[in-house]
Amino acid sequence: MKQIVTGQVNAFVYGDYLVVFDIGGTWTSPGVKLFEEMLTLRLNTYTNAGSYRQVVWCMESLARANGCVGVLLGTVGGYDDRLGRVIERLGYEKAGGSYYKEV
């Protein structure tokens, strides 16, 4: 948690969700910035954590604010079919084990 608070790790808390992410280029297009979700963790499973959709919308807003061309969501949807369907309804396309959307 210290690394998050001091800014050594890119992360934010939205509702009961902790999201760890990175913003950077790819090896094929180093000048193009992408927002990549590395980890989404529900902090308190005993409360109503709010909508995962809102967390995704927050990631998209953060990506736009940082000049990213797209958002890459990690493999969480690949392990949970229900969550994968939510992600696809938000306009994401499955790319391997991840999901991608241009913003």
Domain count, the chain: 1
The pTM of this model reads 0.87
Specify whether the CB–CB gap between 32 and 69 falls below 8 A.
yes
Mean pLDDT to the nearest integer, 14-39: 91
DSSP category for residue 46: T
Mean pLDDT of the chain: 88
The pLDDT value recorded for residue 88 is: 93
Mean pLDDT to the nearest integer, 41-68: 89
Instruction: Give how far Cα 58 sits from Cα of 2, 81, 96, Å.
Output: 23, 22, 23
The pLDDT value recorded for residue 49 is: 66
DSSP category for residue 49: -
What CATH number has the domain bearing residue 71? 3.40.630.30
Mean pLDDT to the nearest integer, 57-63: 97
Confidence at 2, pLDDT banded by 50, 70, 90: confident
* CA distance linking residue 70 with residue 6, whole number of Å: 26
Domain of residue 6, residue span: 2-102
Tokens 């499955």 belong to residue: 94
